[in-house]
Amino acid sequence: MGGTQIRVALVNGQGAVLARTATATDAAGGPRAVVRQIRQLFAEVSRGAGPASLAGVGVCMPGPLDSEAGVVLGIPTLPGWVDIPIVAWLREALDLPVTLENDGVAAAIGEWRFGAGRGLSDFVYVTVSTGIGGGVIADGRVLRGRRRLAAHLGHMTILAQGAPCSCGNRGCWEAQASGSALGELARRLAAEVPGSDLLRHGPAVTARHVMEAARAGDALGLQLVAREAEFLGMGIVNLLHLFSPQAVVIGGGVSNGFDLLHPGIEAHVRACALPAFCAVPVVAAQLGQNSGVVGAACLVLPRSGKP
Ligand SMILES: [Zn+2]
């Protein structure tokens, strides 16, 4: 479940998505309405599978949440989501075992088991879309931290007095480099730069339009991509120094432009990371839009030896 969309998928033990459906999140309706939506999508997707063949339901959502207690602590972008015992509610609604995980961590687990992180003992997964989130695999296990709240990567400060963030601070990585931040900047600059391709989208310009414009050689599009790559690079340099991963895996909507962003990210890493960290590859996620649902499924799928 995300702030804009709820996706439900039927996933088998090999990580293959057998069925998938989605709907717009009823954010205004609050948690009870969302549970009803999930129940409806679940019924749609699981129609082909006998109840006996379902191992359970893995759920991932934006945090902060207490995955052990099964409680959402408070989602800054969604009103009414404070101290919601979502696992208990869903267990009752779906009549199956339910496991909860932070969305970034779940996607990291999905990429670890079936995607770009296969075989690695240390990597950081970063999702760049409406916000920025992620998960850290360190020394062959998921890094959890106190109350399992580790890896809120999007809220590390990378710019003093920077853009305001949903968390109340300024200059968070998410506020500077998320897809929404990129769209917002594009809206502002497109109005000031005459002749840009981006002008024709008016106030509806998004990160996707920026990528399309850059691909078509539009000067403002290219400038925005270069700036986005630099901000992503800044956060990634911090992650390299903190966790010494074997790779940094980038997913989320903005990673559709990964090929455009990659040279700028690499250049920033080479310029700013300590020499011992410069050769660490920054790669695209392999599960694409499915990292989250596959990762959520991994929470309940029989395990193949990984913690
Ligand atoms: Zn923040």
The tokens of 259 are what? 């090929």
% of the chain residues with pLDDT over 90:
83
DSSP 243-257: H--SEEEEESGGGGG
Which amino acid is it at 249?
V
Residue 307 in this model has a pLDDT that exceeds 70: no
Range(s) of the chain covered by CATH 3.30.420.40: 5-107+290-298, 118-285
Distance of CA 21 to the CA centre of its chain: 18
C-alpha 36/C-alpha 80 separation (Å) is 15
Ion ligand 1: residues, CB within 5 A, are 155, 165, 167, 169, 172
Residue 305 in this model has a pLDDT that exceeds 60: no
| Fold assignment, 5-107+290-298 | Nucleotidyltransferase; domain 5 (3.30.420)
**H or E element in which residue 87 lies:** helix 86-94
HSE of 173, CA atoms in CB hemisphere, 13 A: 24
Least confident range from 114-118, 265-269, 302-306: namely 302-306
Residue 30 in this model has a pLDDT that exceeds 80: yes
The CA 239 to ligand 1 mean position distance, Å, reads 16
The CA 67 to ligand 1 mean position distance, Å, reads 20
177: left (phi over 0), alpha (psi -120 to 50) or beta: alpha
pLDDT digits (tens, 9 = 90+) for 71-105: 999 988 888 999 999 999 999 999 999 999 999 99
pLDDT digits (tens, 9 = 90+) for 184-207: 999 999 888 888 889 889 889 999
Q: Does domain 118-285 have CATH number 3.90.110.10?
A: no
Using CB atoms within 10 A of its CB, is residue 275 exposed (0-12), middle (13-18) or buried (19+)? Answer: exposed
pLDDT at 288: 87
- Provide the mean pLDDT of the chain: 94
Question: Would strands 71-74 and 82-84 be described as parallel, antiparallel, or unpaired?
Answer: antiparallel
pLDDT at 77: 81
The CA 152 to ligand 1 mean position distance, Å, reads 9
Q: Is the dihedral of CA 129, 130, 131, 137 positive or negative?
A: negative
51-58 mean pLDDT: 89
Ordered alpha helix ranges (H), 30-72: 30-45
The CA 170 to ligand 1 mean position distance, Å, reads 7
The CA 218 to ligand 1 mean position distance, Å, reads 31
Residue 253 in this model has a pLDDT that exceeds 90: no
C-alpha 253/C-alpha 257 separation (Å) is 8
The CA 157 to ligand 1 mean position distance, Å, reads 7
Q: Residue for token digits 């609604």?
A: 93
pLDDT at 304: 55
The CA 55 to ligand 1 mean position distance, Å, reads 36
Quote the crossing angle between the two packed helices 103-114 and 291-298, to the nearest 10°: 80
Count Cβ atoms below 10 Å from residue 83 Cβ, excluding itself.
9
C-alpha 260/C-alpha 123 separation (Å) is 22
The CA 133 to ligand 1 mean position distance, Å, reads 11
274-290 mean pLDDT: 95
pLDDT at 289: 86
Count Cβ atoms below 10 Å from residue 68 Cβ, excluding itself.
11
Question: Would strands 132-138 and 123-128 be described as parallel, antiparallel, or unpaired?
Answer: antiparallel
C-alpha 78/C-alpha 303 separation (Å) is 33
pLDDT at 299: 94
pLDDT digits (tens, 9 = 90+) for 221-241: 999 999 999 999 999 999 999
The CA 169 to ligand 1 mean position distance, Å, reads 5
The tokens of 237 are what? 């340099």
pLDDT bin (cut points 50, 70, 90) of residue 42 is very high
pLDDT bin (cut points 50, 70, 90) of residue 179 is very high
Using CB atoms within 10 A of its CB, is residue 106 exposed (0-12), middle (13-18) or buried (19+)? Answer: buried
What are the φ/ψ torsions at residue 98 (nearest 5 degrees)?
-125, 135
**H or E element in which residue 143 lies:** none
The CA 176 to ligand 1 mean position distance, Å, reads 10
Give, in order, the Cα–Cα distances in Å from 132 to each of 9, 16, 179.
Answer: 23, 25, 8
Give, in order, the Cα–Cα distances in Å from 124 to each of 49, 80, 264.
Answer: 34, 31, 19
The CA 173 to ligand 1 mean position distance, Å, reads 7
